[in-house]
Amino acid sequence: MKALHKILFLFHVLLLRLRHWKRVIVLERTGGLGDVICCIPAYRALKQKYPAHLILFATFKPFDALLKNCREIDAVHGVAPGMKIPQQKAAWLVDRHYEALTSDERGRGGQKLHLAHVFLKDCDLPVEDWQPRIAIPGGERQATAESFNFQLGETIIAIHTGRTWPVRELPEDRWQEIVDGLHKSHPCRILHFCSPWRDGTPVHKLRGVEAMQPDLPLLTTAAVLSQCRLLIGIDSGLLHLAGTLGVPSLGIFGAVNPQFRLPLGTPAKGVYATLPCSFCQHESPIKHWQTGCPNDIRCMKEISASQVMEAVEYIFPKA
């Protein structure tokens, strides 16, 4: 099957060359949604650096459907899970191949730049602050509004609780306090995004929220999020997606410094506990991640609901 996907990739590149009569440069970034979104500035910079070429963004499905709605992106190829771009076999079709990687993936660690800047630097491109935008097709937006019975003028707030690595998660009871606080201070409709973890750990169960299906198509998720007034969530791809949609966001961080993750061009604020071990993601070597935390994830457990609600009032004051 992987061989077939590689053949389809080569055929796609050949088709692009023939259709546009341009040489092709490939920018490859798989991984999570947030990584892919933070790589869009590198795509834009490559377009500026090589105006005579067509830039092809190679990323995991289903991210390709989302990226096709970014006006900066001219061509996308959806890569099957586990597949790598066959650089040697594609050399006769592809002029240059860029694979944007983080400092950790390069084996260096200690990353102290915004993720979008990391990818720009990794591709030897000029570093700049620029916020990509995703445009939701009108038909998709209208269909989503009808499907979820969104009403004109209603206040909708989205929360995203995970699941993800334990070092990024806020305790479930803390989320319930936040939901209760939102209902008291901002009469609103709260949409809850949460998926089961890979080991089968169930989604968080909260009162006073509408649980979103964990298997919603990504474009539908974006259409739902685009109609929200605010997103409150942990460090995840949805925070980056909110930035591309112009939706204000409140990110809850522990191991990662929000300065290096929050959207660069959309109202956003980070909440975190000030501890000696905070932001250990940016140390070298990293002291947590998949292997666990030596401090029992205090950086997340010590964030209070009142701290989050204070930040809500800052970024989303009462009318």
Type and span of the H or E element at 153: none
Q: Are residues 204 and 81 both part of a single domain?
A: no
Domain co-membership, 160 together with 100: no
DSSP character string of 207-248:
SSSEEPPTT--HHHHHHHHHT-SEEEEESSHHHHHHHHHT--
Convert the pLDDT of each residue in 206-216 to its tens digit.
999 999 998 89
Residue finishing a domain among 106, 122, 138 = 122
Residues 164, 282 within the same domain:
yes
Shared domain for 86 and 218, answered yes or no, is no
- Give me the CATH number covering residue 226: 3.40.50.2000
Containing 5, the helix (H) or strand (E) segment is helix 2-20
Locate 246 and state its tokens.
Answer: 């112009």
Regarding whether 274 and 155 lie in a shared domain, the answer is: yes
Which residue, 58, 87, 122, sits at the end of a domain?
122
Query: Domain span at residue 186?
Result: 146-315
pLDDT for 319 equals 46
**Do both 92 and 16 map to the same domain?**
yes
Q: Please check whether residues 182 and 76 belong to one and the same domain.
A: no
How many whole angstroms separate alpha carbon 178 and alpha carbon 311? 11
Domain presence at residue 307: yes
Contact 95, 53 (CB under 8 A): yes
pLDDT recorded at residue 227? 95
Give the least confident one: 104-108, 125-129, 150-154, 187-191.
104-108
Residue 255 sits in the same domain as residue 162: yes
Please tell me the predicted confidence (pLDDT) of residue 318.
61
Residue 192 predicted with pLDDT over 80: yes
Evaluate whether residue 195 is within a structural domain: yes
In a domain, 138, yes or no: no
Q: Would 46 be classed as within a structural domain? A: yes
Which token pair is 109? 């660690």
Q: What percent of the chain has pLDDT over 70?
A: 98
In which residue are the tokens 């250990």 written? 280
In sequence order, the 6+-apart residues with CB closer than 8 A to the CB of 306 are: 181
- Domain end among 55, 87, 122: 122
Number of domains in the chain: 2
Whether 185 and 116 map to the same domain: the answer is no
Q: Are residues 106 and 153 in the same domain?
A: no
Are 192 and 308 in the same domain?
yes
Tell whether 113 and 246 lie within a shared domain.
no
